[in-house]
Amino acid sequence: MEILPIALNTFREAVRDRVLYLILAFAVVMILASTVLGMLTVGGEEKIIEDFGLAMIALFGTAAALFIGIGLVFKEIDRRTVFTLLAKPIRRGQFLLGKFLGLALTLAVNLVVMAAAFFLLLAVRGLPAGGLWVAIWLTYFEILLVTAVAVLFSSFSTPVLSALLASTVYVVGHLTWSLKLLEEMIESPAARATIRMVYLILPNLEHFNVRGDLVHGVPVSWGHIGFATLYGLGYTTLILLAATAIFERRDF
Amino acid sequence: MPALELRAVSKSYRSQWTFARTPIVRELDLEVEPGEVFGFLGHNGAGKTTTLKMMMGLSRPDSGEIRLFGEPHLNAAIRRRVGFLPENPYFYDYLTGREFLSFMGRFFGLDGAERRRRVDELLERTGVATAADRPLRKCSKGMLQRLGLAQALIGDPDLVVLDEPMSGLDPIGRREVRDLILDLRRRGKTVFFSSHILQDAEMLCDRVGILVSGRLRSQGRLRDLVGDRVRSWEVTVVGGREPLPGEVLSRRQGEVLRRVTSEEELRALLSQLAGSDGRVVSLIPQRATLEEVFLRDVRQADDCAADSAGAPPAA
Can you tell me the distance from the alpha carbon of B100 to that of B113, in angstroms, rounded to the nearest whole number?
16
Q: Does B58 touch chain A (CB under 8 A)?
A: yes
Task: Give how far B137 is from chain A: nearest CA, Å.
Answer: 13
- Residue of A72, A88, A106 best to disrupt the B interface, most CBs of B under 10 A: A88
- Residue of B56, B110, B147, B159 best to disrupt the A interface, most CBs of A under 10 A: B56
Is residue A182 predicted with pLDDT exceeding 90?
Answer: no
Is residue B314 predicted with pLDDT exceeding 60?
Answer: no
Q: Higher model confidence: residue A229 or residue A81?
A: A229
Can you tell me the distance from the alpha carbon of A194 to that of B111, in angstroms, rounded to the nearest whole number?
54
Total domain count, chain A: 1
pLDDT at B309: 56
pLDDT digits (tens, 9 = 90+) for B35-56: 999 999 888 888 999 999 999 9
Is residue B313 predicted with pLDDT exceeding 50?
Answer: no
Partners of B58 on chain A (C-beta within 8 Å) are 83, 86-87, 251-252
Q: Could you tell me the sign of the dihedral formed by the alpha carbons of A63, A65, A66, A68, in that order? A: positive
Angle at the Cα of A54 from the Cα atoms of A51 and A60, rounded to 5 degrees = 135
pLDDT digits (tens, 9 = 90+) for A31-65: 888 888 877 777 777 888 888 889 999 999 999 99
The 8-class DSSP code of residue A218 comes to P
pLDDT digits (tens, 9 = 90+) for A51-60: 888 999 999 9
Can you tell me the distance from the alpha carbon of B149 to that of B168, in angstroms, rounded to the nearest whole number?
14
Helix axes A18-40, A45-78, angle to 10 degrees: 160
The mean predicted confidence, pLDDT, of chain A is 89
- What is the identity of the amino acid at A138? L
Please give the share of chain B, as a percent, with pLDDT higher than 70. 96
What is the third-level CATH fold of B4-226?
Rossmann fold (3.40.50)
Task: Give how far B179 is from chain A: nearest CA, Å.
Answer: 23
CA neighbours within 13 Å on the CB side: how many for B14? 7
Task: Give how far A79 is from chain B: nearest CA, Å.
Answer: 6
- What is the identity of the amino acid at B276? S
Q: How confident is the model at residue B173 (pLDDT cuts 50, 70, 90)?
A: confident
Q: Does B2 touch chain A (CB under 8 A)?
A: no
CB contact under 8 A, B148 and A84: yes
A214-A216-A218-A223 Cα dihedral, nearest 10 degrees: -20
Q: Does B288 touch chain A (CB under 8 A)?
A: no
Q: Which ipTM value was assigned to this complex?
A: 0.84
pLDDT at B6: 94
Can you tell me the distance from the alpha carbon of B231 to that of A162, in angstroms, rounded to the nearest whole number?
59
Q: What are phi and psi of A70, to 5 degrees?
A: -75, -45
Partners of A12 on chain B (C-beta within 8 Å) are 94-95
Give Cα B130 distance to the centre of its chain.
30
Highest mean pLDDT among A154-158, B66-70, B84-88, B142-146: B66-70
Of B60, B91, B151, the CB nearest to A251: B60
CB contact under 8 A, A83 and B58: yes
Q: Can you tell me whether residue A46 is helix, strand or coil?
A: helix
Q: Can you tell me whether residue A250 is helix, strand or coil?
A: coil
Can you tell me the distance from the alpha carbon of A157 to that of A251, in angstroms, rounded to the nearest whole number?
13
The mean predicted confidence, pLDDT, of chain B is 86
**B37-42 vs B190-195, strand pairing mode:** parallel
Report the b/e string of B182-206 with b at 16+ CB within 10 A. eebbeeebbbbbbbbebebbeebbb
pLDDT digits (tens, 9 = 90+) for B217-254: 888 887 777 766 677 889 998 887 778 888 888 888 88
Task: Give how far A148 is from chain B: nearest CA, Å.
Answer: 23
Strand order of the sheet with strand B207-212?
A: B82-85, B159-163, B190-195, B37-42, B207-212, B215-221
pLDDT, mean of residues B69-92: 88
DSSP string, chain B: --SEEEEEEEEEEE-TTT--EEEEEEEEEEEE-TT-EEEEEE-TTSSHHHHHHHHTTSS--SEEEEEETTEETT-HHHHTTEEEE-SS----TTSBHHHHHHHHHGGGT--HHHHHHHHHHHHHHTT-GGGTTSBGGGS-HHHHHHHHHHHHTTT--SEEEEESTTTT--HHHHHHHHHHHHHHHHTT-EEEEEES-HHHHHHH-SEEEEEETTEEEEEEEHIIIIIT-EEEEEEEEE--PSP-SSEEEEEETTEEEEEE-SHHHHHHHHHHHHHTT-EEEEEEEEEPPHHHHHHHHHHHHHHHHHHHTTPPPP-
Partners of B56 on chain A (C-beta within 8 Å) are 83, 86-87
pLDDT at B306: 67
On whether the CB atoms of residues B167 and B17 are closer than 8 A, the answer is no
pLDDT at B307: 65
- Full residue range of the structural domain in which residue A156 is found: 3-249
- What is the identity of the amino acid at B213? S
pLDDT digits (tens, 9 = 90+) for B255-308: 889 998 888 888 988 888 888 888 888 888 887 777 777 788 778 777 776 666
pLDDT at B315: 38
Q: In terms of CA atoms, which chain B residue is nearest residue A94? A: B107
Q: Indicate where chain B has its CATH 3.40.50.300 domain(s).
A: 4-226
